[in-house]
Chains A and B, each alone.
Chain A
Amino acid sequence: MIDRYVETLSTYAKDIDNLILLIGVLVGFWFILCEVIFFYFIIHFRAKDGKRAEYISGEEKSHKRWISAPHLLVLVCDVFIVVGAVKVWYEVKQQLPEPYETVRIVGQQWAWSFVHPGADHELGTADDIKTVDELHVEVGKVYHFKLEARDVIHSFSVPVFRLKQDAIPGRVITGWFEPTGTGTYDIQCAEICGIGHGVMVARIVIESPERHAAWVAEQSPITLAAANRP
């Protein structure tokens, strides 16, 4: 349902959508029911000719039931929400599937920059590819990310992955994603981080294995240095 408006392009995106739907439906049901009853009471017990509006102190058992019965039912709904949330939390946040590659993501006012591991799939080596505003990944592969912030708190958000993770100065936060489709999509900052927060955007380019390998070969600092050599 949500994916009619924003595509789902990670292995866990649908789980998160389902959780949002579960919460939305349960909370929405109680919200609408309460509002209907509330307005019914206001209209039904309003002042009429020869009759004052009623004031109910809520001390009688028959009155208290209007609070206690829904309260219990809401608690039952809470159990469903908590079970669903813990399940998703465990699968997305508590588990780290074996990675194909690890990328470094750095947030700063007001840009995202990235370090790709290059052809050797290892970060911290001579063929690391550093980019600003563009993260390149391969479809169908598990990526770990090491998220950092250079100045203030940011939040790395990829809507099509349903991924949102705060970046906190002084900490390196690990997470993961596995893209399920190709294309170019938005990366945003989801934490107010200063005057340029609204334009702190980047793009994630999800590529086929062949295309990604070609990009890595083309952007490798070793290749670029050789091309610039006289």
Chain B
Amino acid sequence: MALNRNHVAMFALVAVSCFVVGCSARADENERGADLYRLCAACHGESAAGYEAVGAPAIAGLPQWYLEAQLKQFRDGTRGTHFDDIMGMRMRPMARMLMRDGDVEAVSAHVAAMPVARPAPSLTGGDADNGKAIYTATCVACHGADGVGNQGMLGAAPLNHSSDWYLFRQVENFRAGVRGARAGDQGGALMRPMVLQLADEQAIKDVVAYIMTLAN
């Protein structure tokens, strides 16, 4: 059947309609993400740059897969259900407020699209040169030489967008079993023996100091 002008016009109309509907759905999702983020902004800040006083890390520009994974872990209790995880317990009910299908994805996409706002370092006493040696020996295989993380490596976290105080606290949490010790937390199970290789608090500070030198 030869295409006449009417067929072409109809095809164009259908194509334009699909495009408009697709754009509208995407716009709705973006709007939903922005709307949901208003809840997060109370602690993480309008620009998602974090707020140390309430234990809320910088999250702007983190990869969507990582944000989704963490929100799901908070929701299902893999994170934020240890007696000593004070900040995690503060986060968990917030994640549980994302109740509708697609909420986690929408808010994660919104945060991932925000410009990275790396906060100024607040930890002191770290030796980045020594930290580089530790990072290369212990962390690089999963988190990568530039600290961007690796979804395929059991969701190894991106580190180069994080606040130094947050990294320090998480390493301590992994060492103490406050994080990563729940049954089924495969990434945590892999991470815990790694952080136990850091000899002491100074070693943690060193490696965090090095991570902070990794450019975004």
Contacts and interface: CB of A to CB of B under 8 A. Distances in A.
Interface of A: 108-111, 113, 115, 130-133, 150, 195-196, 199-201
Contacts of B96: 199
A113 B92 CA distance: 13
Interface stretch (B82-90, B102-110, B137-145): B82-90
B83 A110 contact: no
Contacts of A113: 83, 89
Contacts of A196: 90, 93-94, 97
- Please name the 8 residue pairs, one residue from A and one from B, whose CB atoms are nearest each other, closest first: A111-B89, A130-B83, A199-B93, A110-B93, A132-B81, A196-B93, A195-B42, A113-B83
A157 B82 CA distance: 22
B90 A108 contact: yes
B89 A110 contact: yes
Interface of B: 39, 42-43, 77, 80-83, 86, 89-90, 92-94, 96-97
A20 B54 CA distance: 39
Contacts, number: 40
B82 A111 contact: no
Instruction: Give the interface SS of chain B, mostly helix, strand, loop or mixed.
Output: helix
10 contacts: A108-B89, A110-B93, A111-B90, A132-B81, A132-B83, A132-B89, A195-B94, A196-B90, A196-B94, A199-B93
Q: Which of A115, A132, A201 has the most CB of B within 10 A?
A: A132
Contacts of B90: 108-111, 196
B67 to A, nearest CB: 19
